[in-house]
C-alpha cells in the first residue's frame, strides 16, 4: 500500500477513526527537504501495510488543516494513535530515524 492523500474532507475517517496508527507527512511541493523525505515516506508505507497507515498533507492545498494542527515548519511528521497526536517531529531525517520515530506506536 502506498501513502494516501489526506484532506480536510477525509481527515476524520482516515486519521482520527483509523484502527491502526497513522503517520502523517505535512509537506509542500516547493520544499526541498520534503522532496528528500517523500520517497522514504512512500517506502515506509509499502513496508508497513496493515500495521501503519501513511498519509500526506500538502500544506499549500490544506492550509486550514495544517494551521489546525499547529504546523509551522515542513516537513513535519505526526503520529496519530487512537485518534490523538502521539508524537511529532519536524525536519528531514533518514529512513532509520523515521522508523525509530514511529516503531514504538505499532
Q: What is the pLDDT along the chain (106 residues), one digit of tens a residue?
A: 689 999 999 999 999 999 999 999 999 999 999 999 999 999 999 999 999 999 999 999 999 999 999 999 999 999 999 999 999 999 999 999 999 999 999 9
Choose the catalytic residue: 6, 15, 24, 34.
Answer: 34
Contacts of 17 (CB under 8 A, 6+ apart): 83
51 is catalytic: no
CATH class of the structural domain 4-103: alpha beta
| pTM (predicted TM-score) | 0.95
31 is catalytic: yes
Choose the catalytic residue: 31, 44, 54, 57.
Answer: 31
Burial 43-81 (b: 16+ CB within 10 A, else e): ebbeebeeebbbbbbbbeebeebbeebebeebbbbbbbe
Amino acid at each position: 500500500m502506498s501513502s494516501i492523500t489526506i484532506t480536510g474532507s477525509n481527515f476524520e475517517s482516515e486519521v482520527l477513526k483509523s484502527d491502526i496508527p497513522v503517520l502523517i507527512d505535512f509537506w509542500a511541493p516547493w520544499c526541498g527537504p520534503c522532496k528528500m523525505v517523500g520517497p522514504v515516506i512512500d517506502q515506509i508505507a509499502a513496508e508497513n501495510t496493515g500495521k501503519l497507515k501513511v498519509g500526506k498533507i500538502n500544506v499549500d492545498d490544506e492550509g486550514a488543516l495544517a494551521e489546525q494542527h499547529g504546523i509551522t515548519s515542513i516537513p513535519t511528521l505526526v503520529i496519530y494513535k487512537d485518534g490523538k497526536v502521539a508524537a511529532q517531529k519536524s525536519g528531514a531525517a533518514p529512513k532509520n530515524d523515521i522508523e525509530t520515530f514511529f516503531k514504538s506506536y505499532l
